[in-house]
Amino acid sequence: MKSISHLTILGSTGSIGTSTLDVVARHPERYRILALTAQCQDNILLEQCIRFAPRYAVLMDEGAAMRLEQRIAGAGLNVEVLCGAAALERVASLPEVDTVVAAIVGAAGLRPTLAAARAGKKILLANKEALVMAGRVFMDVVQKYGATLLPIDSEHNAIFQALPHNYSRDHTDSLAASGVSKILLTASGGPFLNTTLSALQHVTPEQACAHPNWTMGRKISVDSATMINKGLEVIEAHWLFNAPADAIQVVVHPQSIVHSLVQYVDGSVLAQLSNPDMRTPIAYALAYPERIEAGVEPLDMLKVATLDFVAPDLIRFPGLALAYQALRIGGTAPAVLNAANEVAVAAFLNNQISFLAIPRLIEDVLADLPIATVNTLEDVFSADTAARSVANYLMKSMICLS
Ligand code: NAD
Ligand code: MG
């Protein structure tokens, strides 16, 4: 009989978190939930506690945690409610937990994901920002403590599937030694693929969050619309697959059926295809190296009929070029890019700055801050703090000017 895998889901109330629980619910004989966490969504977390009976539920917000505790007691459930950042790290590293799904959005996911790595867990990584910020430090911790890192970002999951099965992710293998000449990351192009530069000036947060192929959280939806998401994914691919920037090419593929491709020196190109549904990469990472049913509609190639591929437009989507630039500069540059982007996206969603101001702000912050080498996690966090403060300062002058 198969042994049961015990899971912590960091960010269980979000888009990735709920998709993960959907897959888990299809395989009760394989998975048991030990901990669920969220920022402040106590209503959704209560429903998840009723359905999945975890041992722990963690909320970052104190008021939300108090409400949840009362309702858990009222419902007679045996769930311990915890609150705060230390509790996130605790449930990410419980000895009974085998697998941690890292599905918190943004820099807030870095510490608990690293805690899981230090505890040698199998980590299913959605939280790309953690890897973008802390790349080298993160990968070193994964290697040092024998953690396993499996990508659930759809592109990286596709690459992982298309790489040689013995390709080592512990940084000792290189793509070239495995006969790989290039990684092709596909991008849908987002909701503004065909929007003119002048029209982009006036797009709203609602338009930016209306992705044509995927339903996702608001932050990654805006990142997809600016194509900064693809830039973050280039950096993510660099660390996950030990791939130099020059070996990673972005191709726009509006149908979102081919999730990425690996090109080999003999001319072969291997790709992974599926309907755009995150339950496919989540199920693959959950069951790896086996395959399990994910509830995803089978792909009908006759219905798809056409697959298009075009070059990205770096004039309308300069964020992608900024990410390549940050990757090539190295050191704290990716952490600075990520922090500036998080500040800019929050301001855009709050109607404080325009859509086109997002990459402008990132560019200005990258130009203003001296870039340092990264030796420790503290170097990463101080770059993150400095970038947020410069971004907020520059944004104020931007708002005054507009
Ligand atoms: P989301 O906004 O839907 O959910 C985020 C989750 O994190 C929620 O449970 C929320 O409560 C929690 N959270 C938010 N801020 C927090 C904080 N400060 N501290 C603790 N918890 C916090 O986001 P999402 O779309 O599910 O994305 C999650 C991550 O997965 C992101 O890094 C995103 O880039 C990545 N990702 C998402 C998709 C997708 O299809 N949604 C695809 C690929 C990668
Ligand atoms: Mg992706």
Counting ligand 1 atoms within 8 A of each CB, the residue from 60, 82, 105, 216 with the most, and so the one to mutate, is 105
Give residue 400 CA to ligand 1 midpoint distance, Å: 31
Give residue 182 CA to ligand 1 midpoint distance, Å: 29
Structure confidence by residue, pLDDT tens digits, 169-213: 555 678 988 999 999 999 999 999 999 999 999 999 999 999 888
Q: What pLDDT, on a 0 to 100 scale, did the predictor assign at position 172?
A: 62
Q: How far apart are CA 55 and CA 52, in angstroms?
A: 9
pTM for the model stands at 0.97
Single out the residue of 223, 321, 309 nearest to residue 259, CA to CA. Answer: 309
Sorted by sequence, the CB contacts under 8 Å of residue 164 that are 6+ apart come out as 178, 179, 180
Ligand 1: atom nearest CA of 127 is 32
Q: Torsion over CA of 180, 184, 185 and 186, rounded to 10 degrees?
A: -150
Higher-pLDDT residue of 398 and 318 is 318
Q: How far apart are CA 85 and CA 104, in angstroms?
A: 12
3-state secondary structure of 57: strand
130 alpha carbon, closest ligand: 1
Q: Where are the alpha helices (DSSP H) in 186-278?
A: 197-200, 205-209, 218-226, 228-241
Per-residue pLDDT band for 101 (boundaries 50, 70, 90) equals very high
Is the beta carbon of 11 within 6 A of some atom in ligand 1?
A: yes
Is the beta carbon of 312 within 6 A of some atom in ligand 1?
A: no
CA distances from 217 to 68, 131, 273, 293 (A): 23, 19, 23, 24
pLDDT > 70 in the chain, percent: 98
Ligand 1: atom nearest CA of 154 is 43
Give every strand in the sheet of 258-264, ordered side by side: 248-252, 180-187, 258-264, 269-273
Structure confidence by residue, pLDDT tens digits, 259-281: 999 999 999 999 999 999 999 99
Yes or no: say if 130 and 112 are a contact pair by the CB < 8 Å rule: no
Is the beta carbon of 186 within 6 A of some atom in ligand 1?
A: no
Give residue 62 CA to ligand 1 midpoint distance, Å: 20
Is the beta carbon of 231 within 6 A of some atom in ligand 1?
A: no
Single out the residue of 240, 236, 280, 235 nearest to residue 256, CA to CA. Answer: 280
Question: HSE-up of 69 (CA within 13 Å, CB side)?
Answer: 12
For the chain, how many helices (H) and strands (E)? Answer: 17, 11
Q: What pLDDT, on a 0 to 100 scale, did the predictor assign at position 401?
A: 60
Angle among Cα 311, 316, 317 to the nearest 5 degrees reads 70
12 alpha carbon, closest ligand: 1
Q: How far apart are CA 18 and CA 353, in angstroms?
A: 31
Q: What pLDDT, on a 0 to 100 scale, did the predictor assign at position 174?
A: 85
The DSSP line for 81-130 is: EEESHHHHHHHHS-TT--EEEE---SGGGHHHHHHHHHTT-EEEE--HHH
Q: What is the DSSP letter of 25?
A: H
Residues 238, 241, 247, 250: is their CA dihedral positive or negative? negative
Ligand 1: atom nearest CA of 88 is 20
Q: What pLDDT, on a 0 to 100 scale, did the predictor assign at position 390?
A: 98
Angle among Cα 187, 341, 232 to the nearest 5 degrees reads 35
Largest CA distance in the chain: 66
Counting ligand 1 atoms within 8 A of each CB, the residue from 216, 236, 388 with the most, and so the one to mutate, is 216
Structure confidence by residue, pLDDT tens digits, 209-229: 998 888 899 999 999 999 999
Structure confidence by residue, pLDDT tens digits, 43-71: 999 999 999 999 999 999 999 999 999 99
- 151: cis peptide before it, omega within 30°? no
Is the beta carbon of 278 within 6 A of some atom in ligand 1?
A: yes
Q: What pLDDT, on a 0 to 100 scale, did the predictor assign at position 80?
A: 98
Ligand 1: atom nearest CA of 104 is 7
Mean of pLDDT over the chain:
96
Is the beta carbon of 151 within 6 A of some atom in ligand 1?
A: no
Structure confidence by residue, pLDDT tens digits, 321-336: 999 999 999 999 999 9
15-49 in b/e burial notation, b at 16+ Cβ within 10 A? bbbbbbbbbbeebeebbbbbbbbbbbbbeebbebb
